[in-house]
Structure 1
Amino acid sequence: MFNRSFTLPVLPKQNGRVAIVTGGTRGMGLEAAKHLASLGMHVVIAGNEREEGAAAARKINEEGCEGKAEFVFMDLTSLKSVRQFVQGFRDRGLPLHVLVNNAGTMLVSESITKDGFEFHFGLNYLGHFLLTNLLLDLLKTSGRPGRDSRVVNMSSATHYSGVVDMGDLNRRICYSSHGAYAQSKLALVLFTYYLQEQLSAAGSPVIVNAVDPGMVDTALYDNLYTLAQMLKKPVAKILFRTPAEGASVAVYAAAASEMEGVGGCYLYNGKKTQSSDLSFDSELQEELWKKSCELVGL
């Protein structure tokens, strides 16, 4: 919390490259979309708030970026909606060079997605797992040696306290909103490492990294109970990072020359950092991958 925020280096222009940013209508997602568009990218903002999304894209375009932004509806809590989004994107014949899996929720009360999954697990992890896999062949064909396509998974330091219970992924036995959130963020790191191993073995021009944005003052904290929100506000102004500061590591992973060909990392403040011991459990990585494929119908 007390570390200085990461300062982005000068990034190379990204003209002609296409990015998808989930949850790009506000907070860190909006800041990431804005920065990538300023580098010349065509950024597709994927989210479930149509008016907010259209306004976000319009705001970016009005700033005179070298690239452009547009909004396309996608609800990550619905596997059907994810599939429809991917099909619509494919039908346009666009390449895909960067996928930023940023959308998320935190500390919500016990609830389920449209497909019956625990809400944190379904939105933060499973929706992105399906999205990434459905777009993987497009990422592969869009990348090339020395100019990889990139997947960026937005994780959290909360993953250090996470446990993935393969027998109760929906956490019905004993629900804790913090535990559910931590599980979803650990699942993203496990997913990152396993996918990168597969891509490296196949020699695919795609890299996958997980990033930790630090403590960021965003709407994710709106789910805190009233007293906690009141106590958080003065603390956040002093200690928390702004959404732009939080997005900087994701932008770095998506566009920095230093990250070319560098995958399978957990990045904090622009540096490779040791993730939790559990995240390196290869058997758990494989077991979660297979179970996730089963759950989303792959």
Structure 2
Amino acid sequence: MFAILSVVVVTVVLAVMVGLYQKNTNAMCKSKKRLDGKTAIITGGTTGMGLRIAIDFADRGAKVIIACPYPDEGASAIKTIFDKTGSEKVIYKYLDLASLESVRKFAADIVNTEDRLDILVNNAGVGIVGDFQTKDGLSFIMQVNYFGHFLLTLLLLPLLKKTGRPLEPSRIVNTSSILHNIGKIDLENLNKTNYWYKVQIYANSKLALVLFARELTCRLRSSKGTHVVINSVDPGAVGTNIFYSVGSIGGVIIKFLSYNLFKTPWQGAQTAIHVVMDKKAGEVSGEFFKNCKRTTAHWNAYNEKVAKQLWAESVRLVKMSDEEFNNCFLDF
């Protein structure tokens, strides 16, 4: 009994020490850059880190489009952002990343109604929820976290290209995770259900986002006159509602510990904000950032062959025709 109690005490002490270290080393975006006249889209911008990013961008003067599949949540987020910033340039639009049809409708609406798109933050995501296929025949976790953002980004690329300038490129930010370190890109089984542990599917989706950013960078570099950069961020352990997918009791405990020992949603949002605001971050593409600094992703993220294979498989799985795909890389 004494031995068990000792282990518990040591574990708690270590957790507190790690938490205090994390709290004291969490980096904050220090840029005072304004975003007046610019337009930003934030998927999952109605809650958690996404909402904090939206508040920051709105406070800097941007027109902010927050996207999620819950209208009530969208209305609540707009009120919260207005109360904190006074901005009336915040719009909610319906987007269900678990539906390819919804992604296409959302992208078409943006392209038809917006004159510019300066910032796209692919922030939305689900945790270790059910392992099942959507009506599109895709793994739910993979579709929301990766495939949906893959399709959305390509469909919005012409507008991003139209907006970007040599000294002020359009910026895309992919929200990855520390769990990308255990991600695997097994193309034969990437989209299978009842094959992976759910946490492994989540990790796979977060590695896929980093590989996507690197492959899109390669393709954009071969297109002259294109001023769009895409980078990935690891926000760290953040206390958000995503942990509720673990279960009602376990989720509450993990969220509480992450929030208090590691990062609040506001602190977790800082690296994404930094990558959008920082001048040097706008000069690189396909890179990985953590704690507001450029760093190195897991070595698996730098496999060019796998990145190209994942790209081709992604195009196939999101059912892009040759015409639709080619249109994504045309000048607007």
Q: Which bracket does the TM-score occupy, shorter chain normalised?
A: over 0.9
SS of 1:210 mapped into structure 2: strand
Aligned length: 298
Q: 2:102 aligns with which of 75, 81, 97?
A: 81
Deviates further, 73-82 or 164-173? 164-173
Whether the aligned pair in 2 keeps the contact of 1:105 and 1:220 (CA below 8 Å) is yes
Deviant stretches of 4+, over 4 Å: none
Q: Which has the larger radius of gyration?
A: 2
Whether the aligned pair in 1 keeps the contact of 2:235 and 2:290 (CA below 8 Å) is yes
**Cα separation, 1, equivalents of 2:194 and 2:69:** 30
The equivalent residue for 2:132 is 111
The equivalent residue for 1:269 is 291
Find out whether 1:256 has 2:310 as its counterpart.
no
**Cα separation, 2, equivalents of 1:237 and 1:96:** 32
Q: 1:98 aligns with which of 119, 138, 144?
A: 119
Per the TM alignment, residue 174 of structure 1 is displaced from its structure 2 partner at its CA by: 2.1
1:239-250 equivalence runs, <5 A? 239-250=261-272
Per the TM alignment, residue 58 of structure 1 is displaced from its structure 2 partner at its CA by: 2.5
The equivalent residue for 1:236 is 258
Q: What residue identity is the alignment partner of 1:158?
A: L
Cα displacement string for residues 193-234 of structure 1 (whole angstroms, at most 9, x for unaligned residues): 111121123241000000000000001100113453354255
The equivalent residue for 2:13 is none
Q: 1:297 aligns with which of 319, 323, 326?
A: 319
Whether the aligned pair in 1 keeps the contact of 2:244 and 2:250 (CA below 8 Å) is no
The equivalent residue for 2:4 is none
Query: Higher helix proportion, which one?
Result: 2
Decide whether aligned partners of structure 1 residues 225 and 173 sit closer, same or farther in structure 2, where only a CA change above 3 A counts.
closer
**Cα separation, 1, equivalents of 2:88 and 2:255:** 35
SS of 2:269 mapped into structure 1: helix
Q: What residue identity is the alignment partner of 1:223?
A: S
**Cα separation, 1, equivalents of 2:135 and 2:194:** 20
TM-score by length of 2: 0.86
**Cα separation, 2, equivalents of 1:295 and 1:14:** 36
The equivalent residue for 1:219 is 241
Per the TM alignment, residue 93 of structure 1 is displaced from its structure 2 partner at its CA by: 3.5
**Cα separation, 2, equivalents of 1:276 and 1:67:** 41
The equivalent residue for 1:39 is 60
Cα displacement string for residues 7-66 of structure 1 (whole angstroms, at most 9, x for unaligned residues): 111231110000000001100000001101111110000110001102211221233446
Q: What residue identity is the alignment partner of 2:178?
A: A
Cα displacement string for residues 61-87 of structure 1 (whole angstroms, at most 9, x for unaligned residues): 233446721100010000000000111
**Cα separation, 1, equivalents of 2:39 and 2:257:** 37
Q: What residue identity is the alignment partner of 2:312?
A: K
**Cα separation, 1, equivalents of 2:282 and 2:146:** 25
**Cα separation, 2, equivalents of 1:276 and 1:199:** 23
TM-score by length of 1: 0.95
Per the TM alignment, residue 273 of structure 1 is displaced from its structure 2 partner at its CA by: 1.3
1:14-25 equivalence runs, <5 A? 14-25=35-46
Identity %: 37
Gap regions ≥5 residues in structure 2? 1-17, 321-332
Find out whether 1:13 has 2:17 as its counterpart.
no
Alpha-carbon RMSD: 1.6
SS of 1:150 mapped into structure 2: strand
